[in-house]
Structure 1
Amino acid sequence: MHHPHRRAILPKRIILVRHGESQGNLDTSAYSTIPDNKIPLTPEGITQARHAGAQLKQFISADASSPNWRVYFYVSPYERTRSTLREIGRSFSKKRVIGVREECRIREQDFGNFQVKERMKAVKETRERFGRFFYRFPEGESAADVFDRVSSFLESLWRDVDMNRLHHDPSHDLNLIIVSHGLALRVFLMKWFKWTVEQFEYLNNLGNCGIRVMQLGSGGEYSLAIHHTEEEMLEWGLSPEMIADQKWRAKAARGEWNEHCPWYLDAFFDNLADSDESVDTDDQTNSFNSCA
């Protein structure tokens, strides 16, 4: 169904923010005595979060074409993400924040319950051999499991936007800010941009309070290439083809198919004929007969 108002209420930016440095980042033995969801920020993590808030405020407000901007937050329920959000919030006035929602589906990957340091080291070594996306932690989750719940969250996010559950005034530029965890945010980008499992395996984790800005392009597609440089995207693990796709999205009309992106077809087929006439039907017939 066509929504004539949809283009007007699309968020100008969807901004992904990883939490600040946590006690677990500083000392992994913390996970053996503190539940993962209760791991706090370190003093450095609090400083990082305050700096991230100032950074977000600066580049959002620097857009002279949209002085009437607003922000809406989604946050993981973990202590370190909620604390990060509180510190980020110090940079914004009540006028600018139209809402916040705790969202359990963007929580950290589940590594099990209390985590014994020596055992987790061996488990993570096994994950490197098995592959980061499909390896499921004993009593925990795989990145593929996180992908499923993040995909569900994305569907809800679009319903929130489509039905204006965020109570967003279309005359104001909306910035959605998602405060979450490293793997969940990489999976979010993977789902959004239709990256393959192989491409995911090459992605680097965001640093503490790392920021990724997906900005709405002139044609209605979101792109990382509007705010971020090619050098930054290479550092994050994006291939030249993935970066070319981001640049294409910056100007592409919404819903267009990027036929120039190699992984859309070339990664799955060895040789596709250019036309029906180019297909050798005799070879096809012989192949089917040999399988009968």
Structure 2
Amino acid sequence: MALQQVILVRHGQSEGNVAAETAMRDGLERIDVPARDPDVELSETGRQQASAVGHWLSELTDGERPGIVWTSPYRRARQTGEIALEQAEMELDFKVDERLRDRDMGITDMLTGAGIRKQYPEEAERREWIGKFYYRPPGGESWADVAGRVRAVLADLAQERHEIALVTAHDVVNLLFCYVAEGLDEEAVLERSRTNGLKNAAICRLVRDEDSPTGWRVTDYNLDEHLRREDVEVTDQPGAADAVGEGSDERGDDA
């Protein structure tokens, strides 16, 4: 039987999330990330969050459990899946797909909104004019570019022989999975990002629906009860990517 469901998990809090929050809190121009983006690891809190995802998986019935994991190649995303499966005592194959990686920020990588406005004022102006969804920093990607990656992955996932797949990826990637599945427009997805952005280790669920124009339906979005049940800190933190502010909104995409 073909794939019927996708469980999306944003990675747990990373060391990059912590560094970005510190930089923005202190008004710094540069984010002191501990490693290149693909190598950023989970913080201790992030590991606890990933373990809570594992508890959630262990409580699923046999018919609700995933049969394979598709993961971003970035270490924090794969660690989240590995810790969760170990906690759930589940052994699944991992399929690493570079299309699930975090958004590439090009020349603005590792800069806060203040840093971008200081070093690349013309880029800050261009982004304000074009808008967050379609703005592509030099050498980087727009949200629309990432949405194209997501559409390609979702088409391939639809051919998966397992009925349920677990996807461990990043904030903007998972948000855009829901954008594609629900057929949202630019305004709607940006509003969701501002008002209901994905928490670290939050869970979303997509279900095949032949009556839907997209062929998919979002049945769960931004679930965090598993974190609260395990008394794990719930975090919704900016990342070292896309930290250009929109007015008072300085929330980054991910890290």
TM-score for the superposition, normalised by structure 1: 0.60
**Residue deviations 1:148-188 (CA, integer Å, cap 9, x gap):** 111121222223x2xx3xxx4xxxxx321110001011111
Work out the CA distance in 2 between the residues paired with 1:157 and 1:180. Answer: 14
Equivalent residue number for residue 98 of structure 2: 104
Q: Secondary structure at the match of 2:164?
A: strand
- In the alignment, structure 1 segments of 5+ residues that lack a partner are 1-8, 169-173, 233-292
| 2:25 alignment counterpart | none
Alignment of 1:1-292 (within 5 A): 9-28=1-20, 29-31=31-33, 34-58=35-59, 60-61=60-61, 66=63, 69-94=65-90, 97-112=91-106, 115-117=110-112, 118-120=114-116, 127=127, 130-159=130-159, 161=160, 164=161, 168=162, 174-204=163-193, 205-216=197-208, 222-225=216-219, 227=220
Residue-by-residue CA offset, 1:21-74 (whole Å, 9 max, x unaligned)? 01111112233x62111111110000011011111222x22x7xx48x542110
What SS does structure 2 have at the residue aligned with 1:74? Answer: strand
8 Å contact kept, 2:134–2:142? yes
How many residues are treated as equivalent by the alignment?
A: 202
1:10, CA displacement in angstroms? 3.7
The 1:47/1:120 distance shift into structure 2, 3 A limit, reads farther
| CA distance 1:56–1:129, shift in 2 (3 Å) | farther
Residue equivalent to 2:233: none
Secondary structure of 2:77's aligned partner: helix
Tell me how far apart the structure 2 counterparts of residues 104 and 37 of structure 1 sit (CA, whole Å): 11
Deviation digits for residues 94-122 of structure 1, max 9, x if unmatched?
A: 5xx44220010011000126524442466
Contact 1:109 1:146 in 2 (8 A): yes
Contact 1:190 1:200 in 2 (8 A): yes
Higher relative contact order (CA 8 A, sep 6+): 2
Shift, 1:146, TM fit: 0.7
Residues 223-256 of structure 1: CA distance to partner in whole angstroms, max 9, x if unpaired? Answer: 334x569xx9xxxxxxxxxxxxxxxxxxxxxxxx
State the shift of 1:215 in Å. Answer: 3.6
State the shift of 1:133 in Å. Answer: 0.7
Give the aligned CA root-mean-square deviation in angstroms.
3.0
Whichever residue aligns with residue 153 of structure 2, its letter is F
Residue segments in structure 2 that go unaligned for 5+ positions in a row = 21-30, 226-255
Task: Describe the shift of the 1:181–1:120 C-alpha distance in structure 2 as closer, same or farther (beyond 3 A).
Answer: farther
Letter of the structure 1 residue corresponding to residue 99 of structure 2 = R
